[in-house]
Amino acid sequence: MIIFLLLIYVAILFGLVKIKIIKLNTFWKVSPVLYVLVLLIFLFIPMQWGAPLGTINMYQEILEVIPNVNGEVSEIVAEPLKPLKKGDTIFTIDATTYQATVDNVEAQLALAKLRLEQSSTLADKNAGSKYDVEQFESTIKQLEAQLVTAKWNLEETVVKAPADGYVTALALQKGQRVSNLPLRSWVSYVKEKRIPILWIPQIYLRHVQPGQEVEITWKLQPGRIYSATVVDVAKAIGQGQWLPTGNAPTAPNPNFPGHFPVVIKVKDDQDAPAEKLYGGAFGTAAIYTTNAKFAHIIRRVIIRMEAWMNYIKPY
């Protein structure tokens, strides 16, 4: 943009010299340099913190689906990239042994209840021991607890979608044995919800506040400008993380000062809603703070130039 404004100034200066309105002396020869300095000091430097610009990325949560029980896969219901609702079945595990456990515990529980009834009748008639009654009552409580666990295990043989989304990279096969160990996932599940994050250098972050206006241009949607607002600024990044390793903290790298993530909410009432933006989509976004408002018009021009350049710029 500064080169563009400089070319306009040089063209005007050339025209004025050509029609002899001004005389090309030493001052006018060095005036482009002075013009650039004025632009930098009074326009472009204030614009950096009054309307900071950064790279924005559309993040999407990928959940690891790990079953709660072990067994052999009996059926795969979900299809890759096909939308699912929360609670829809992804795949099922052979429930034969789990159903047998439920039947076994239910049979023991029925017998224990019968024995409790019989021992209570005998105890009431002073023909049985109260100790037997208490023992059967304890047995029933234990079996009821076992039945709850057994039924829960049986229900968990049906692995369901944890949220609205879809399955991706489905390499699971019927007959494959799966386990509940959290060492690996058997299905990658993509949540429907997407979160746009704008990365701003910390030197330009001091005037950014929730609720401020944001304009975005995405590589995926060239020529379009999306309206959004600032939700919040993350208060910590990886460079500020102090892990409990027992090692003393090290000094940060001065050559990489770090960018802070700014959570953005894209407005829905637009011609190109955010649902058309895939996870991993990236672009450029500008935040319009309450400072240096005179420079906002230049930033708006820059962001629109970037939007049109997205037709030809691959990165």
pLDDT at 272 over 80: no
Say yes or no: 88 and 225 in one domain: no
Residue 153 lies in a domain: yes
pTM for the predicted model, two decimal places: 0.72
State the DSSP H helix or E strand holding residue 35, giving kind and residue range, or none if neither: helix 26-39
* 3-class secondary structure, 28: helix
| pLDDT at residue 278 in the model | 82
* Residue 263, domain CATH: 2.40.30.170
Yes or no: say if 193 and 257 are a contact pair by the CB < 8 Å rule.
no
List phi, psi (to 5°) of 227: -95, 140
Say yes or no: 143 and 196 in one domain: no
Say yes or no: 170 and 79 in one domain: yes
Say yes or no: 269 and 288 in one domain: yes
141-152 per-position pLDDT tens digit: 999 999 999 999
Spatial distance between the Cα atoms of 213 and 11, rounded to a whole number of angstroms: 35
Residue that terminates a domain, selected from 153, 172, 190:
190
The total of structural domains in the chain comes to 3
Most confident of 20-24, 181-185, 252-256, 303-307: 303-307
Residue 8 lies in a domain: yes
282-296 per-position pLDDT tens digit: 999 999 999 988 889
Residue 174 lies in a domain: yes
Per-residue confidence at 251, pLDDT binned at 50, 70, 90? low
Say yes or no: 99 and 201 in one domain: no
Q: What residues make up the domain containing 153?
A: 69-190
List phi, psi (to 5°) of 165: 170, -145
Residue 164 lies in a domain: yes
| pLDDT at residue 127 in the model | 65
Residue 250 lies in a domain: no
Say yes or no: 185 and 195 in one domain: no
Residue 245 lies in a domain: no
52: number of Cβ within 10 Å? 23
Task: Give the range among 28-32, 70-74, 240-244, 269-273 with minimum mean pLDDT.
Answer: 269-273
| pLDDT at residue 137 in the model | 87
Residue 247 lies in a domain: no
| Greater model confidence, 245 or 57 | 57
Yes or no: say if 106 and 151 are a contact pair by the CB < 8 Å rule.
no
Residues in a beta bridge with 152: none
Say yes or no: 30 and 94 in one domain: no
Question: How many helices (DSSP H) and strands (DSSP E) are in the chain?
Answer: 6, 12
Say yes or no: 211 and 182 in one domain: no
Per-residue confidence at 93, pLDDT binned at 50, 70, 90? very high
Say yes or no: 145 and 195 in one domain: no
Spatial distance between the Cα atoms of 175 and 43, rounded to a whole number of angstroms: 67
Spatial distance between the Cα atoms of 296 and 145, rounded to a whole number of angstroms: 66
Tokens encoding 178 = 């799966």
Per-residue confidence at 121, pLDDT binned at 50, 70, 90? confident
Say yes or no: 29 and 57 in one domain: no
| pLDDT at residue 135 in the model | 87
| pLDDT at residue 145 in the model | 94
| Greater model confidence, 40 or 227 | 227
Residue 244 lies in a domain: no
End-to-end CA distance of the chain: 19
Residue that terminates a domain, selected from 164, 190, 216:
190
| Dihedral sign, Cα of residue 129, residue 130, residue 135, residue 137 | positive
Per-residue confidence at 277, pLDDT binned at 50, 70, 90? confident
Task: Give the range among 37-41, 43-47, 123-127 with minimum mean pLDDT.
Answer: 123-127
Say yes or no: 228 and 263 in one domain: yes
Per-residue confidence at 276, pLDDT binned at 50, 70, 90? low
Spatial distance between the Cα atoms of 91 and 160, rounded to a whole number of angstroms: 7
Say yes or no: 234 and 166 in one domain: no
Residue that terminates a domain, selected from 190, 210, 226:
190
